[in-house]
C-alpha cells in the first residue's frame, strides 16, 4: 500500500487482493470454529470478492454479544462457545431467526471495500428492510434515521445481477485514515495492508451487528 | 457549449410501448403508446406519459410498480434509456418495441423503484461517485444546496442543457476532457481518473451483419464494469478511445508492464488461470490474460448511439459524450475465442 493511499485510507485493487488473502488465512486459522470466509472469482478470474454465507444473526441479539444457535445445516457465528448456555438457547424463537450472506467487494471508484449483504428467514424468504432494521444495533438504527444520506441502500450486486443491500462507502476512507494514523507502529511495520480488512470489518461489521472474534482484533 | 453536447442532450429514442397481454382487460387491445424517450433520461420518468394511455385497459385495483421488458428481458431502470438501447439492440430497431407492466414487479431481479424519487436518488449517487473519482472527494455534491439540487435534477428531467451547465459548473467536475483543444491536444493534460461504465458482451463467432448478432436474453451475458479510466499526464495527449477501453479490460488486454513476462511463457501456461503460490493468488497484476490478447477483438464500441473511430482522442469523448451524472457509458462487443 503506497504511503499516499495509506494516508488517504484507501487501497488499490491489487492491495485488496493481498489484504483479502491475508484476512482469509488469519480468520480461518485463528477462528477455525467459525464459518470460513471464501474468495470468489468473477469477471473472468481477475476480480474477486470475499464471501461469508448462511450465517445466523438472531433478532434477539444484544449490543455486547450475540446469541446464536446453529440451525440445521447452517453456520453460526458465536462470540465464544463457553458463553452460550442451554437456558439462553431455549428463549430464541426459531421463527425470528435471520440468516445473512455477506460479500466484501472492492469498489474501484472509492478505492475501498464495500459490504454487500442480504438477509432471509429460515424458509429462505428474503427479509424486508424493516425486519433487517430490527436486527441492527441501536446506534445504527439511530444513524439511519438521523442521516440525510441513507447509508444502507438496496442496489444491484456488482456481479450477480440481483438486488442486495449495500453499506455506502463514501465515508470509509475517512475512518480508515483515522484508524491507521492512530497507530504509528502499524504504519511503520508495513503490515498495514494485511490488517486493513480486519480493521475495516471491525468497524463495518459493528454497523450490522457482526462481531469480529477477539483473537483477530488482538493483532491490531 | 459544445455542439456535440447539444446533440447528446437532444438525442432521443422513438419507443413503441405495448401493454403486457396479461394485463389487457378490454377489447380491442389498446394500441401501443408512441413516445420519444430522451437518451439521457430513464424509463420510469416516462410513466406519467404512458399510464394515461393505458388506464382504461388496466384491471381494477391499485397497480404495482411499473416496469418494462424488451423481448422478455426486464429492463434495469437506473441505466439511461440511450444506453439500454445501444446495448440491447445491436441492430437499432426503430421504433424500439418495449412492453410495459403495471403488475408483477420482479423484485428478485430488479432493484425496487418508487418512480421519480428513486431515479433521482440513483442519479445523485452516481454523481457523488463520479465526483469522488474526479476530485478525490464528493464534498461538492454533498454540500449542494437544496434549490441547486432541485434545479439540477429538473434540468435533466426537462433536457435543459443551459440550466444544467449553469448548476453543474459550480460542482467543479472538470476532467481531462477539459484539456482537449482543437489544435491537436497541445498543452498539459492533467493526470486523473475518468468515471466510466462499461457494458461488455462477448461473442465467440464472427458476424458480418449486426442483424446476425446474438440476442441478449439475460443480464448474465453482460459484464458490467464500473471502473475509472486512469490517465497519466504524459500520455494524455495521445490517449485514444481504444487505449481507454483496453486499459479497463486487463483481463482481455493485459497491461504493457506485464506483457514482457507473458510473451516468454508457454501456450500451455495460458490455460492456468491462477498462479499456484498462495501469497500471489489474488494479485490481479500477476494473473495471466484469460485469453492471449491477439485473439480478442473489439468488434463494436457504441457511445450515445454512435460508433466513434477507436483512434479518436479519449479526452474528446469525455468532454462531449458523457451523461449528466458525469459518467461515460460505453457499450462494447468483444469477439473472444471459444471458452472451454
The C-alpha cell that represents B247 in the structure block: 486499459
A170: annotated active-site residue = yes
CB proximity list for B170: less than 8 A, separation 6 or greater: B140, B144, B148
Q: Which residues of A touch B132 (CB under 8 A)?
A: 109-110, 170
Class in CATH terms, B1-110:
alpha beta
Whole-angstrom Cα distance, residue A185 to residue A173? 20
Tell me the CB-side half-sphere exposure of residue A139, using CA atoms within 13 A.
Answer: 10
Using omega within 30 degrees of 0 as the cis cutoff, is the peptide bond preceding B95 cis? yes
Smallest Cβ–Cβ distance between A43 and the set B109, B220, B223 belongs to B223
Identify which has the larger pLDDT, B215 or B74.
B74
| Rg value, chain B, Cα | 22
Antiparallel, parallel or unpaired: β A163-167 and A152-156: antiparallel
* A64: in domain: no
Q: What is the mean pLDDT of residues B2-19?
A: 93
The whole-chain average pLDDT of chain B stands at 83
B246-295 pLDDT tens trace: 999 888 888 654 433 333 333 333 333 333 344 433 444 444 445 555 68
pLDDT tens-place string over residues A1-23: 455 565 678 888 888 999 999 99
- The kind and range of the H/E element at A78 are none
What's the predicted TM-score (pTM) here? Answer: 0.83
A110 CB within 8 Å of a chain B CB: yes
Q: Nearest to residue B88, comparing CAs of B113, B102, B106, B68?
A: B68
Q: Does position B169 have pLDDT exceeding 80, yes or no?
A: yes
Q: Is there a shared CATH topology between the B1-110 domain and the B117-171 domain? A: no
CATH-assigned architecture of domain B193-253+292-335: Roll (3.10)
Q: Which residue has the cell 488461470?
A: B273
Element (H, E) at B36: strand B33-38
Residue A129, in any domain of the structure: yes
Single out the catalytic residue among A69, A95, A107, A170.
Answer: A170
Task: Provide the grid cell at A40.
Answer: 470468489
The set of cell numbers assigned to A101 is 450472506
Cα separation, B154 vs B68, whole angstroms: 23
For B185, residues 6+ apart whose C-beta sits below 8 A from its C-beta are B179, B236, B237, B238, B313, B315
Are A66 and A79 a contacting pair, CB within 8 Å?
yes
Among A131-145, A180-194, B65-79, the range scoring the smallest mean pLDDT is: A180-194
Cell of B7: 446533440
Residue B129, min C-alpha distance to chain A (Å)? 7
Q: How far apart are CA A154 and CA A163, in angstroms?
A: 6
Query: Parallel, antiparallel, or unpaired for β B196-203 and B328-335?
Result: parallel
Q: Does B338 touch chain A (CB under 8 A)?
A: no
> How many residues are recorded in chain B?
340
Using CA atoms of B317, B319, B323, B329 in order, give the dihedral in degrees to the nearest 10.
30
CA distance A82 to chain B (A): 34
pLDDT at B4: 87
Number of A to B CB contacts under 8 A, please give it: 74
Cα of B194 to nearest chain A Cα, Å: 10
Nearest to B196 by CA among B235, B243, B149, B255: B243
Q: Tens digits of per-residue pLDDT, B288-298?
A: 445 555 688 89
Average pLDDT rounded to a whole number, residues A135-149: 66
Range of the domain at A36: 13-56+97-218
Sign of the C-alpha dihedral computed for residues B183, B184, B188 and B189 taken in this order: positive
> Grid cell 491536444 — which residue?
B185
Q: Kindly state the cell numbers that stand for B26.
A: 378490454
Which residues in chain A have their CB less than 8 angstroms from residue B223's CB? 43
State which fold the B117-171 domain adopts: Serum Albumin; Chain A, Domain 1 (1.10.246)
Q: What angle do CA A3, A102, B229 make, to 5 degrees?
A: 45
Tally the domains of chain A. Answer: 1
Torsion angle of alpha carbons B221, B210, B94, B219, nearest 10°?
Answer: 0
Is A14 part of the contact surface with chain B (CB cutoff 8 Å)? yes
Q: How far apart are CA B247 and CA B227, in angstroms?
A: 10
- The whole-number pLDDT of residue B222 equals 92
Contact of B287 with A20, CB cutoff 8 Å: no
A44 close to B (CB below 8 A): yes
Task: Provide φ and ψ at A213, rounded to 5°.
Answer: -55, 140
Q: Do A21 and B227 touch (CB under 8 A)?
A: no
What are the grid coordinates assigned to B19, written together?
Answer: 401493454
Domain ranges of chain B: 1-110, 117-171, 193-253+292-335
**A17 close contact with B: CB closer than 8 A:** yes
Q: Look at residue A3 and tell me if it is in a domain.
A: no
Answer whether B95's CB lies under 8 Å from B15's CB. yes
pLDDT at B148 over 60: yes
For residue A56 the three cell numbers come to 445466523
Query: In this structure, is residue A176 part of a structural domain?
Result: yes
pLDDT tens, A23-54?
A: 999 888 888 888 889 999 886 556 889 999 98
Tell me the sheet residues that pair with A121: A98
Q: What is the distance between the alpha carbons of residues A194 and A198, in angstroms, rounded to a whole number?
A: 8
Cβ count within 10 A of residue B262: 15
Contact criterion met (CB < 8 Å) for A43 and B228 = no
**Per-residue pLDDT reduced to its tens digit, A171-214:** 777 777 777 666 665 555 556 777 888 888 887 877 777 777 77
Instruction: Residue A154: list chain B partners with CB under 8 A.
Output: 111-112
Q: What is the CATH number of the domain that holds A128?
A: 3.30.1460.50
B228–A109: do the CB atoms touch at under 8 Å?
yes
Amino acid at each position: 500500500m503506497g504511503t499516499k493511499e495509506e494516508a488517504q485510507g484507501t487501497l488499490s485493487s491489487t492491495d485488496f487482493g493481498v489484504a483479502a488473502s491475508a484476512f482469509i488465512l488469519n480468520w480461518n486459522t485463528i477462528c477455525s470454529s467459525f464459518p470460513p470466509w471464501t474468495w470468489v472469482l468473477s469477471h473472468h478470474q481477475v476480480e474477486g470478492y470475499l464471501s461469508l454465507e448462511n450465517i445466523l444473526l438472531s433478532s434477539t441479539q444484544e449490543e455486547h454479544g450475540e446469541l446464536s444457535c446453529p440451525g440445521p445445516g447452517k453456520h453460526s457465528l458465536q462470540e465464544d462457545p463457553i458463553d452460550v448456555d442451554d437456558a439462553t438457547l431455549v428463549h430464541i424463537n426459531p421463527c425470528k431467526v435471520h440468516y445473512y450472506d455477506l460479500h466484501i467487494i472492492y469498489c474501484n471508484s472509492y478505492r475501498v471495500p464495500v459490504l454487500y449483504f442480504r438477509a432471509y428467514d429460515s424458509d429462505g424468504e428474503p427479509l424486508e428492510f424493516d425486519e433487517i432494521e430490527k436486527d441492527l444495533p441501536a446506534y445504527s438504527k439511530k444513524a439511519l434515521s438521523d442521516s440525510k444520506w441513507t447509508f444502507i441502500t438496496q442496489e444491484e450486486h456488482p456481479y450477480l445481477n440481483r438486488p442486495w443491500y449495500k453499506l455506502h462507502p463514501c465515508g470509509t476512507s475517512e475512518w480508515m485514515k483515522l484508524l491507521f494514523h492512530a497507530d504509528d507502529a502499524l504504519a511503520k511495520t508495513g503490515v498495514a495492508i494485511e490488517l486493513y480488512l480486519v480493521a475495516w470489518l471491525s468497524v463495518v461489521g459493528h454497523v450490522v451487528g457482526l462481531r469480529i472474534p477477539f483473537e483477530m482484533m488482538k493483532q491490531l | 457549449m459544445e455542439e456535440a453536447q447539444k446533440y447528446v442532450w437532444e438525442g432521443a429514442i422513438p419507443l413503441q410501448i405495448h401493454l403486457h397481454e396479461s394485463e389487457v382487460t378490454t377489447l380491442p387491445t389498446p394500441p401501443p403508446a408512441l413516445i420519444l424517450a430522451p437518451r439521457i433520461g430513464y424509463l420510469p420518468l416516462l410513466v406519467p406519459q404512458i399510464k394515461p394511455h393505458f388506464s382504461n385497459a388496466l384491471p381494477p385495483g391499485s397497480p404495482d410498480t411499473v416496469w418494462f421488458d424488451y423481448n422478455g428481458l426486464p429492463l434495469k431502470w437506473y441505466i439511461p434509456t440511450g444506453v439500454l438501447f445501444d446495448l440491447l439492440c445491436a441492430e437499432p430497431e426503430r421504433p424500439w418495441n418495449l412492453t410495459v407492466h403495471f403488475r408483477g414487479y420482479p423484485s428478485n431481479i430488479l432493484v425496487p423503484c418508487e418512480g421519480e424519487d428513486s431515479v433521482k436518488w440513483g442519479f445523485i449517487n452516481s454523481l457523488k461517485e463520479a465526483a469522488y473519482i474526479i476530485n478525490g472527494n464528493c464534498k461538492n455534491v454533498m454540500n449542494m444546496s437544496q434549490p441547486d439540487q432541485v434545479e439540477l435534477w429538473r434540468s435533466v428531467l426537462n433536457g435543459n442543457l443551459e440550466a444544467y451547465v449553469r448548476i453543474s459548473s459550480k460542482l467543479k467536475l472538470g476532467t481531462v476532457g477539459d484539456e482537449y483543444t482543437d489544435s491537436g491536444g497541445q498543452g498539459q493534460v492533467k493526470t486523473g481518473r475518468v468515471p466510466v461504465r462499461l457494458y461488455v458482451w462477448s461473442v465467440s463467432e464472427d458476424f458480418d451483419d449486426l442483424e446476425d448478432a446474438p440476442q441478449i436474453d439475460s443480464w448474465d451475458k453482460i459484464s458490467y464494469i464500473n471502473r475509472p479510466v486512469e490517465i497519466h499526464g504524459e500520455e494524455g495527449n495521445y490517449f485514444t478511445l481504444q487505449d481507454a477501453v483496453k486499459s479497463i479490460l486487463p483481463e482481455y488486454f493485459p497491461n504493457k508492464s506485464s506483457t514482457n513476462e507473458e510473451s516468454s511463457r508457454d501456450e500451455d501456461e495460458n490455460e492456468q488461470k491462477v498462479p499456484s503460490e498462495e501469497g500471489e493468488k489474488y494479485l490481479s497484476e500477476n494473473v495471466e490474460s484469460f485469453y492471449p490478447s491477439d485473439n480478442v477483438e473489439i468488434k463494436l464500441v457504441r457511445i450515445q448511439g454512435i460508433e466513434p473511430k477507436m483512434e479518436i482522442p479519449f479526452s474528446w469523448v469525455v468532454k462531449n459524450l458523457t451523461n449528466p451524472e458525469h459518467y461515460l457509458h460505453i457499450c462494447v462487443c468483444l469477439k473472444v475465442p471459444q471458452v472451454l
